[in-house]
Amino acid sequence: SHKSDSLDSQDLIKHLENSGYLFSEEPSIAFSSWFKRLTYDSLANRVTTERNHLNEWVKYTYASDGTHVTQCSTDGEKWLR
């Protein structure tokens, strides 16, 4: 028997929909660790923001000339270089 045979896909989807998978949400199901990444592209630059279960936030801002700035935060609002 395969494990997938015992899983109802609709139950799994419902569980994951309520798991806090959006970047701005805290996970609502128990994980020993988690990592989230959000990328925003504009004509001028690309901004990638990452956060994890240790409340570590890192933001990378890439300019069109290939340079980038790395910033850190503990709350996603106040950023340090």
Q: What is the pLDDT along the chain (81 residues), one digit of tens a residue?
A: 566 667 788 888 887 888 888 888 888 888 889 999 999 998 889 999 999 999 999 999 999 999 999 999 999 999 998
Instruction: Please tell me the pTM assigned to this model.
Output: 0.75
- 């925003």: which residue's tokens? 40
Annotate 1-27 with b (16+ C-beta within 10 A) or e (fewer).
eeeeeeeeeeeeeeeeeeebeeeeeee
Q: How many CB atoms lie within 10 A of CB 50?
A: 15
Domain ranges of the chain: 35-81
Rounded distance between C-alpha atoms, residue 79 and residue 75, angstroms: 8
